[in-house]
Amino acid sequence: MSLFNARSAWTIYKQELMRAFRTAMQSILAPVLTTTLYFVVFGAAIGGQMKSGVDGLNYGAFIVPGLLLLTILGESVSNASFGIYMPRFTGAIYELLSAPVGVAETLVGFVGAAASKSLILAAIILFTASFFVDYTIAHPVYAFFFVLLVSASFSLFGFILGIWADSFEKLTIVPLLILTPLTFLGGTFYSIDMLPEPWRQVAMANPVVYLVNGLRWTFYGSSDVPIALSLGLTLLFLVLCIGFITWIFKSGWRLRT
Amino acid sequence: MQPILEISGLTKTYSGGFTALKGVDLTINKGEIFALLGPNGAGKTTLIGAVCGMVRPTSGTITAFGEDMGRHWRTLRKRVGLVPQELATDMFEPVLRSVNHSRGLFGLAPNPALVEEILKALSLWEKRDEQIRNLSGGMKRRVLIAKALAHEPELLFLDEPTAGVDVELRRDMWKQIALLRERGTTVILTTHYIEEAEEMADRVGIIRKGEILMVDEKAAMMERLGRTEALITLDQPLAQVPTEVAAFPVTLAEDGRTLVYRGGGGEGASAGTAEVAELTKALTRAGIDYTAIDIHESSLEDIFVNLLEGPDAPVQETAV
């Protein structure tokens, strides 16, 4: 008996990607426009007045990794959570639950599609950013895998959120009230080294700091925290999410009555 | 008869403490149409959910195609299809893509010819590129049936398949279900419409408060529990039941003009009518004239209502 049905996983993946393109205005154009506005306002307009830059970088270039991460986190969580919440909400989840589909196919389908959307968005945003700010990517292969790792981890987190939520309010409360503040305070727009003590120590308790700095290292070869620590923590988060989702499928928590 | 599904001691108690299924034992035979009748909240949907994977049973075993459903769910679910009660699907999807998606979800390669055949049989082919949300309620229900058939299930659950559809469409669906049976698909349907069970089912199960009250072949159930009722309109009113017919199960209506016969229960459909004939002869012998006789047999609905309205009907599992 096969433990993984590739065709089932591909079917879910394809369906989820199609859903994104069906709602392209909301799922692709809106985040690209929002991020572009950040580049225009903070990168080109305000950053243009900051002659000294940050950490030896032009301010516009400095914020590129952070803004990219801001979009990736939000979109990964949002896409994956809506992807599984909507069939739960409408009752269409019956088809998934009655199909010969296990945790592996479900994750590859739903989380894979959400992560893919984030990667597509990241590529569009980087392309768009090149019109407003000059940036370089010192380690493009690392950058790709780091973005992939973050997209996958937060898509898994979004999937958990979509299973936990029993209302649209709960679905949006975590991205709006937790993720966005953590990202803004996680060194997207400034270097953690610029903060006085004890705020620097407080900031180090923010997990997003490690993500932003990890991505910044892949762009510019330097960051506030070691890249190994960023990678290790992100991997740990990924493993914890997979473990929790495996438990959800075994126990049927909020999926099966 | 070869069993295709065997449910034994199936119990489901929800976290709130409500017990929806109380040790259900049920066997479904290959190739039959089985109708599960019961009022709202009787446990019909929970029973289907437990077999199809949406409900985790508290205890009991489910064996499908001779294998344990809990252990071999991957292989067994491929052989089972479900049409849910609610019109639950992604309404923004076009019909054809939605049906193809269902087939892929069950791990099967695309089969355009089969999907076309299914959609044509359900009169959906012309609507294949329409978003499901734009279809009528009856059409939406057909889409759910098409989705359930896309992976060619051998055992198909239809949870209230004709709820909310008009009479014409209902009869059309009955034809579709009969065609499925001809192709060898075993069908289990839950319904409120007694007429539906009476029309289609080979066997009928009656469930109430999570317990199976009775399972039997439809004809046998009607034979065993059916009754004959005859209303004999008398030429002249009587004050009491004449002694010549007192041995028959008759009562006199309040106006004294109608003699009411209720009998034949459990003795076969013809026993009641034969006894009514004897009753009329006895009336003639006694010189009591009558002007009309209105006679009818119990419908499945009468049996269903009698069973459910009984003070606390005994749980009775008969031959499977």
Helix (H, G, I), strand (E, B) or coil at B188: strand
Helix (H) or strand (E) holding B70: none
Task: Name chain B contacts of A12, Cβ cutoff 8 Å.
Answer: 105
| Contact between chains at A95 and B147 (C-beta distance less than 8 A) | yes
Distance from CA of B317 to the nearest CA of A (A): 27
Taking only the tens of pLDDT, chain B with its 320 residues reads: 789 999 999 999 998 889 999 999 999 999 999 999 888 888 999 999 999 999 999 999 999 999 999 899 999 999 999 999 888 889 999 999 999 999 999 999 999 999 999 999 888 999 999 999 999 888 898 899 999 999 999 999 999 887 777 777 788 888 888 888 898 999 999 887 777 887 888 999 989 889 998 888 877 777 777 778 889 999 999 988 988 888 888 888 888 889 988 887 665 556 788 888 999 999 999 989 999 998 877 666 677 777 776 654 444 443 33
Tokens representing B271 are: 């026993």
Amino acid code (one letter) for B136: S
| Contact between chains at A257 and B54 (C-beta distance less than 8 A) | yes
Q: For residue B21, what are the contacts with CB-CB under 8 A and spacing of at least 6?
A: B10, B11, B12, B43, B46, B47, B50, B57, B60, B210
| Contact between chains at A96 and B105 (C-beta distance less than 8 A) | yes
Dist. CA A131–CA A49, nearest whole Å: 18
| B57 interface with A at CB cutoff 8 Å | no
B48, B58, B100, B106: best mutation site toward chain A, by most A Cβ within 10 Å? B106
Q: Are B206 and B213 in contact (CB under 8 A)?
A: yes
Q: Which of A159, A180, A69 is CA-nearest to residue A114? A: A159
| Contact between chains at A97 and B14 (C-beta distance less than 8 A) | no
Task: Give the DSSP per-residue string, chain A.
Answer: --S--HHHHHHHHHHHHHHHHHTHIIIIIHHHHHHHHHIIIIIIIIHHH-TT-BTTB-HHHHHHHHHHHHHHHHHHHHHHHHHHHHHHHHSTHHHHHHSS--HHHHIIIIIHHHHHHHHHHHHHHHHHHTTT-----S-HHHHHHHHHHHHHHHHHHHHHHHHH-SSHHHHHHHIIIIIHHHHIIIIISS-GGGSPTTHHHHHTT-HHHHHHHHHHHHHHS--SS-HHHHHHHHHHHHHHHHHHHHHHHHHTTTT--
The whole-model pTM stands at 0.83
What's the confidence (pLDDT) of residue B319?
37
Residue B247's alpha-carbon distances to B4, B243, B250, B251, in angstroms, are: 48, 8, 8, 11
What's the confidence (pLDDT) of residue B21?
95
Residue B68 burial (CB count, 10 A): 12
| B155 interface with A at CB cutoff 8 Å | no
Q: What ipTM, to 2 d.p.?
A: 0.86
Q: Are A107 and A156 in contact (CB under 8 A)?
A: yes
Biggest distance spanned by C-alpha atoms of chain B:
79
Task: Name chain A contacts of B73, Cβ cutoff 8 Å.
Answer: 100
Q: For residue A178, what are the contacts with CB-CB under 8 A and spacing of at least 6?
A: none
**What is the DSSP code (8-state) at residue B134?**
G
Q: Determine if the peptide bond prior to B314 is cis (ω within 30°).
A: no
**Euclidean distance between the first and the last CA atom of chain A, given in angstroms as a whole number:** 26
**Could you tell me whether strands B290-297 and B228-234 are parallel, antiparallel, or unpaired per DSSP bridges?**
antiparallel
Q: CB-hemisphere CA count at 13 Å for B72?
A: 15
What's the confidence (pLDDT) of residue B310?
62
What's the confidence (pLDDT) of residue A107?
92
Give Cα A28 distance to the centre of its chain: 14
| Contact between chains at A1 and B72 (C-beta distance less than 8 A) | yes
Can you give the C-alpha Rg of chain A in angstroms? 19
Task: Name chain A contacts of B82, Cβ cutoff 8 Å.
Answer: 94, 98
| Contact between chains at B90 and A96 (C-beta distance less than 8 A) | no
Task: Name chain B contacts of A22, Cβ cutoff 8 Å.
Answer: 92
B227-297 and B3-79+153-222 share a CATH fold = no
Q: Are A90 and A169 in contact (CB under 8 A)?
A: no
Tokens representing B18 are: 């409500």
| B84 interface with A at CB cutoff 8 Å | yes
Amino acid code (one letter) for B35: A
Burial class (CB in 10 A: 0-12, 13-18, 19+), A246: middle
Distance from CA of A102 to the nearest CA of B (A): 8
Residue A166's alpha-carbon distances to A89, A115, A160, B86, in angstroms, are: 8, 23, 12, 19
Backbone angles phi, psi at B317, to 5 degrees: -105, 120
What's the confidence (pLDDT) of residue B266?
60
Tokens representing B122 are: 């359900």
Task: Name chain B contacts of A89, Cβ cutoff 8 Å.
Answer: none
Residue B88's alpha-carbon distances to A54, B71, B85, B140, B313, in angstroms, are: 53, 28, 8, 9, 35
Amino acid code (one letter) for B312: D
| Contact between chains at B75 and A5 (C-beta distance less than 8 A) | no
What's the confidence (pLDDT) of residue B105?
96
Which residue from B86, B90, B109 is facing A7, i.e. has the nearest CB?
B109
Burial class (CB in 10 A: 0-12, 13-18, 19+), B167: exposed
Q: Are A39 and A129 in contact (CB under 8 A)?
A: yes
What's the confidence (pLDDT) of residue B152?
94
Spans of chain A, pLDDT less than 70? 1-2, 51
* Torsion angle of the four alpha carbons B127, B133, B134, B139, in this order, in degrees rounded to the nearest 10: 50
Dist. CA A79–CA A158, nearest whole Å: 7
Which residue from B49, B78, B147 is facing A100, i.e. has the nearest CB?
B78
Residues of A near B (Cβ–Cβ under 8 Å) read 1-2, 5, 7-8, 10-12, 14-15, 18-19, 22, 86-87, 90-92, 94-102, 252, 256-257
Per-domain residue ranges of chain B: 3-79+153-222, 227-297
Burial class (CB in 10 A: 0-12, 13-18, 19+), A198: exposed
Instruction: Select from 3.60.21.10, 3.40.50.300, 2.60.34.10, 3.40.50.180 the CATH code of B3-79+153-222.
Output: 3.40.50.300
CATH topology of domain B227-297: Alpha-Beta Plaits (3.30.70)
